[in-house]
Amino acid sequence: MRLELVETAALIDGLWIEADRTFDVTNPADGAVIAQVADLGASETKVAIEAAHRAFPAWAARTAKDRGAILRRWSDLMLLHAEALARLMTAEQGKPLAESRGEVVYGAAFVDWFAEEAKRSYGHAIPTPDPSKRLVSIKQPVGVCAAIAPWNFPIAMITRKVGPALAAGCTVVVKPAAETPLCALAIARLAVEAGVPAGVLNIVTGKDSGAIGKALCDDARVRKLSFTGSTPVGKLLYAQCAGTMKKLSLELGGNAPFIVFDDADLEAAVDGAIASKYRNTGQTCVCANRLIVQAGIHDAFAARLTEKVAAMKVGAGTDEGVTIGPLINAKAMRKVGDLVSEAILSGAEALTGGGPDPLDEDRFYTPTVLVGVTPDMRIFQEEIFGPVAALVRFETEAEAIELANATPFGLASYFYSRDVGRCWRVAEAIEAGMVGINEGIISTEVAPFGGVKDSGLGREGASEGLDEYLETKYLCFGGVGG
């Protein structure tokens, strides 16, 4: 299949930069090399920061309406090229084509929404306590921002950072994941076509994430860093940013509880669990990780879930009807395999799946339902990031909340119940940044996405997501009289 919009050079200061060294981008479905991309490091990152620093004053000085018009053109171009972008995404990331198409729309929506929202970044007129003074607060762009993006949503996790940053008047240096740089470069090309000026959006591709990340953290001109990825890397970046006192957004790992109470609508709960658990082959930070199911509905839920999961089609994302693609790499295959094998050795039972898929045991994992999982198992404690539903049985509401909160993570959470009182109680008691109540898909550009505890800091999307790229400045006018 011929791919379109393939760029292999990095984008710095409006120029496409080739490099002596390149790295391979491979298709996770078959290991084929799709492209060889410029492999940049710390010194090129500095050049990108300089470009973003130079471009900042002019971009910040433009009106929000003017920036918004450019961003809307960018969003429109992404939608115009949606099919090409989706095919590129499936090629480098592996997700089923229908999901890639969905992500292009989701990704473009962040740009479109923030293009509008920046026009409403209001300050306040503050009632004065002193008649001789007048007090006002205004919002101003933070400055140069760094965005370090993951491989699981190669477009949306970039636009969720870059959309609000550019809309607010910031300039950005993006480091896309080494597994999925092609989508980043493709949308950057469309940004240039839309009229984003040189230096405002820079894309630094490279395999040495540590060196590029450190260069971004150490540079005092970078005033904010936004990262989506693992908790250990997030903590490292947090520490590295201390020296230059950057603003930080960290969207880190999760261990989402998905509670099903006896009074739940069984079919809705099964469908919600499938949508949440198996989206992107289980490789999202908000995937249901622990399915905590009340004793009275447990067996019926497990049986219906198993029936539907066993019918899922595994294969390359471009194949018709496929709902479960490959895992991103061999390390991911090993991790999922180990978690499941250990759980089974400790007494869990696979009702379907339970191992690598015969289609290609090095790349695909059969969608799995495990029952008999207990809190002492690693599969309960760690983020699985694969197509495995781990079911835990409980008796009382208090026990469900205790199980849900028995983790250092607190990103997404879900529960199903038809008791309105319980819905309020449980939603308030769960330690998480987001709660899906009778709903398995909660992500949208209009709502604040983010976590608590080890799941990170800050929010993306919604007006909160714009605030992350703005500073509040207080102006005190003295000598006014009165």
Q: Which residues are catalytic?
A: 251, 285
- Nearer Cβ to ligand SIN (368/443): 443
Answer yes or no whether residue 285 interacts with ligand SIN by CB under 6 A: yes
Q: Which stretch binds ligand SIN (CB under 6 A): 68-76, 241-249, 278-286, 300-308?
A: 278-286
What is the distance between the alpha carbons of residues 73 and 252, in angstroms, rounded to a whole number? 31
Tokens found for residue 252: 């880190």
Q: Which stretch binds ligand SIN (CB under 6 A): 44-52, 63-71, 149-157, 316-324?
A: 149-157
Phi, psi of 248 (to 5 degrees): -135, 140
- Nearer Cβ to ligand SIN (280/306): 280
Question: 311: helix, coil or strand?
Answer: coil
User: Rounded to the nearest whole angstrom, what is the least distance from the CB of residue 156 to ligand SIN in the complex?
Assistant: 6
Please give the helix or strand (H or E) that residue 185 lies within, else none.
helix 181-194
Answer yes or no whether residue 443 interacts with ligand SIN by CB under 6 A: yes
CB-based closest residue to ligand SIN: 443
Q: What is the x/- site pattern for ligand SIN, positions 220-239, by CB under 6 A? A: --------x-----------
Q: Helix 64-80 to helix 82-93 angle, to the nearest 10 degrees?
A: 70
User: Rounded to the nearest whole angstrom, what is the least distance from the CB of residue 475 to ligand SIN in the complex?
Assistant: 37
Q: Helix 64-80 to helix 181-194 angle, to the nearest 10 degrees?
A: 130
- Nearer Cβ to ligand SIN (8/159): 159
What is the distance between the alpha carbons of residues 350 and 340, in angstroms, rounded to a whole number? 9
- Nearer Cβ to ligand SIN (148/156): 156
User: Rounded to the nearest whole angstrom, what is the least distance from the CB of residue 362 to ligand SIN in the complex?
Assistant: 24
Q: Which stretch binds ligand SIN (CB under 6 A): 36-44, 283-291, 325-333, 419-427?
A: 283-291
Q: What is the x/- site pattern for ligand SIN, positions 329-368, by CB under 6 A? A: ----------------------------------------
What is the distance between the alpha carbons of residues 23 and 232, in angstroms, rounded to a whole number? 25
User: Rounded to the nearest whole angstrom, what is the least distance from the CB of residue 178 to ligand SIN in the complex?
Assistant: 17
What is the distance between the alpha carbons of residues 196 and 208, in angstroms, rounded to a whole number? 27
| Strand pairing class (409-410; 452-453) | antiparallel
- Nearer Cβ to ligand SIN (143/257): 257
Tokens found for residue 230: 């693992």
Contact call for residues 391 and 373 (beta carbons, < 8 A) = yes
Question: 472: exposed, middle or buried (C-beta count within 10 Å: 0-12, 13-18, 19+)?
Answer: exposed
Total residues in contact with ligand SIN, by rule CB under 6 A: 9
In the set 8, 100, 180, 284, which binds ligand SIN (CB under 6 A)? 284
Please give the helix or strand (H or E) that residue 57 lies within, else none.
helix 42-61
Q: How far is CA 157 from CA 232, 406, 475, in A?
A: 19, 28, 35
**DSSP-derived secondary structure letter, 103:** H
Answer yes or no whether residue 152 interacts with ligand SIN by CB under 6 A: yes
- Nearer Cβ to ligand SIN (228/281): 228
The residue length of the chain stands at: 482
Q: Which stretch binds ligand SIN (CB under 6 A): 19-27, 54-62, 80-88, 280-288?
A: 280-288
In the set 153, 227, 380, 414, which binds ligand SIN (CB under 6 A)? 153
**DSSP-derived secondary structure letter, 323:** -
User: Rounded to the nearest whole angstrom, what is the least distance from the CB of residue 389 to ligand SIN in the complex?
Assistant: 17
Answer yes or no whether residue 286 interacts with ligand SIN by CB under 6 A: yes
Task: Using CA atoms of 397, 401, 403, 405 in order, give the dihedral in degrees to the nearest 10.
Answer: 180
- What does the binding site for ligand SIN look like in residue numbers (CB under 6 A)? 152-153, 156, 228, 251, 284-286, 443
